[in-house]
Amino acid sequence: MVAVWRLFKNTQRSVSTAEGLAVDDTLPESVSNHGSPPILHLYTFIPSVIVGKYQDIEAALKLDRCRARGIEFNRRSTGGGTVIMGPEIVALGLGINVDYPGLENGGVGGVFESMARVLVGALERLGISSHFQPKNDIEVSGKKIAGLSAAADTGNSLLFHTSFLVDFDIELMTDIMNTPVEKLSDKGYNCFSRRMTTVREELGEKIPVESAMEAIQRSFETEFSIRFREDQPDQWEKEKIRSFIKNRYTNRDWIFSHKHPRARMGVGRLKTRAGLLEIYLSLSGSSIESLLITGDFFSTTDAINRLENALKWTSAREEKIQENLSRVWQDNMIYGLDVPTLTKAILKAKANQVRL
Amino acid sequence: MANIKGYNMPDELYYHKDHSWARVDGNRVTVGMNDFFQKEAGDIVFVDLPEEEEEVSQGEVCGKIQSRKWIGKLVAPVSGEIVEINEELEEDTSLINSDPYGEGWILVIEASDLESELGNLMQGEALVSFIEAEIKRAEEERAKG
């Protein structure tokens, strides 16, 4: 018999960050403590920006610009960095037991891979060929189109979050986020536009957000051999949602939580025989949160992306940078450059770090 | 030092199924995350620790550990009062990766019911079977991918 999962699908309106995130947090609670089968929540937010659970919101965002533009900001309960959300970005929340057949128990990587397969399948249904860029992104020709994050909190269950870009406003992103590239506004725009893509950009047509939701839904059904029953939160779940809205998502102590590593950013420039290397580095405690490798060297978007991805959310110690770069390095990824020189440029950015 | 298919799992420690370990010294129990966890999780980027003097129960989530965009649980292997936190982790979370049973220890619990609770933790053959099953599941999942 085919297992039935619940589907909370909201195509009627875009929701506030408090409402959307509170429903998501209720999903693993309901699976773990209320006897629910897995629940998928597909919806969109009003224009907003959401930081990861352990991010310094004041360092990550220009809050005055958010307020001036009417962009809501909040903090989610899963890991990772800042995401811009809005009516043309599908938000996905999934509550599921860690030992559900088809999900790996114990390891982080495999669980993300299971979810990535669903998203790659959904893009395939839309006519877009993509792949999983370990550890957290789905890419199309080296450009990010969807990101995954997760948290294990309640009992045996997990919460997954995904942002799936049907359309995206890079200008908004560069205006409201603090990035090391901000003083070079044109360059900043280019850096991000070369690293991100959307369903509409790939297809060259304005497909509705509902079509992307439908593709995700069908891909889950295929991947897990299940079918969905459209449903609404019951009374128990509604009570939980109200409680999360009150205690987390409208609570300043949660939104402005100080439980986070120190956030710092730095820029490093190094003249090399391959050309000028410019590294923009964001550090989270002793780890690299993100980095941009730019300059006037010869390379491909795909190669740069692979190098940047190899370092995201890894230790910023010299030997770890070398080790992680070496793992993906191939001859002439950046023409005329080698791993020690690239490492040196990154360490220069690290040495120039400033606290925000 | 026991080596189970490439994972170091020291014989003298007790292991919880959620991958925390316990080193018993009288009633003081030092707690950390095992080698399987740190290898699967990858670089640890943040540890959200409880306060000293908090009471925890065996199996209770007493901290959170972020690696990449994943937030995992630190589960108390025994009940008692948290009497010490590893403050070094505030500066360098990678100690959990580089030395999970040494400098990467996370906290110390003054155990309240050690004798009866140690029986709920794994050692020896039970541990070998558990880790082998975890590895098998991980491999199966990767093969499918």
- A317/B contact by beta carbon, under 8 A: yes
Helix (H, G, I), strand (E, B) or coil at B70: strand
> A104 and A13, same structural domain?
yes
In the prediction, which pLDDT does A111 show? Answer: 78
> Quick one: chain B helix, strand, coil %, rounded to 5?
30, 35, 35
> A173 and A226, same structural domain?
yes
> A322 and A190, same structural domain?
no
Q: Each residue of B22-37: pLDDT tens digit?
A: 999 999 999 999 999 9
Q: Count up the domains in chain A and report the number.
A: 2
Contacts 24+ apart (CB under 8 A), B48-55: B48/A54, B48/A259, B49/B85, B49/B89, B49/B106, B49/B107, B50/B82, B50/B85, B50/B107, B51/B82, B51/B85, B52/B82, B52/B83, B52/B84, B52/B85, B53/B81, B53/B82, B53/B83, B54/B81, B54/B82, B55/B79, B55/B80, B55/B81, B55/B82
> A66 and A30, same structural domain?
yes
| A222 Cα to chain B: minimum distance (Å) | 14
In the prediction, which pLDDT does A183 show? Answer: 55
> A143 and A11, same structural domain?
yes
| B26 Cα to chain A: minimum distance (Å) | 30
> A270 and A232, same structural domain?
no
Q: Which residues of chain A have pLDDT under 70?
A: 104-109, 182-190, 356
- A254/B contact by beta carbon, under 8 A: no
> A178 and A288, same structural domain?
no
Q: Which of A216, A235, A255 is the last residue of a domain?
A: A255
ipTM value, please give it.
0.85
Report the CATH number at residue A77: 3.30.930.10
Residue A151: other Cβ atoms inside 10 A: 27
> A11 and A125, same structural domain?
yes
> A286 and A233, same structural domain?
no
Helix (H) or strand (E) holding A293: strand A287-295
- Surface-to-core class of residue A159, CB atoms within 10 Å of its CB (0-12 exposed, 13-18 middle, 19+ buried): buried
Band of pLDDT at residue B21, cut at 50, 70 and 90 = very high
> A31 and A135, same structural domain?
yes
Q: Which of A232, A255, A278 is the last residue of a domain?
A: A255
- Angle among Cα A134, A55, A295 to the nearest 5 degrees reads 60
Band of pLDDT at residue B128, cut at 50, 70 and 90 = confident
In the prediction, which pLDDT does A279 show? Answer: 95
Report the CATH number at residue A286: 3.30.390.50
| B34 Cα to chain A: minimum distance (Å) | 12
- A121/B contact by beta carbon, under 8 A: no
The closest of B40, B141, B74, B43 to A315, measured between CA atoms, is B43
What residue ranges define each of the domains in chain B, with the CATH number in brackets?
2-133 (2.40.50.100)
B43 neighbourhood in chain A, CB within 8 Å = 287, 313-315, 320
d(CA A151, CA A112) in angstroms, rounded, equals 11
> A198 and A346, same structural domain?
no
By residue range, what is the domain housing residue A303?
A: 263-355
> A298 and A219, same structural domain?
no
Does B71 sit within 8 Å of A78, measured CB to CB?
Answer: yes
In the prediction, which pLDDT does A85 show? Answer: 98
**Average pLDDT across chain B, whole number:** 90
Cβ B137 vs Cβ A114: under 8 Å = no
- A149/B contact by beta carbon, under 8 A: yes
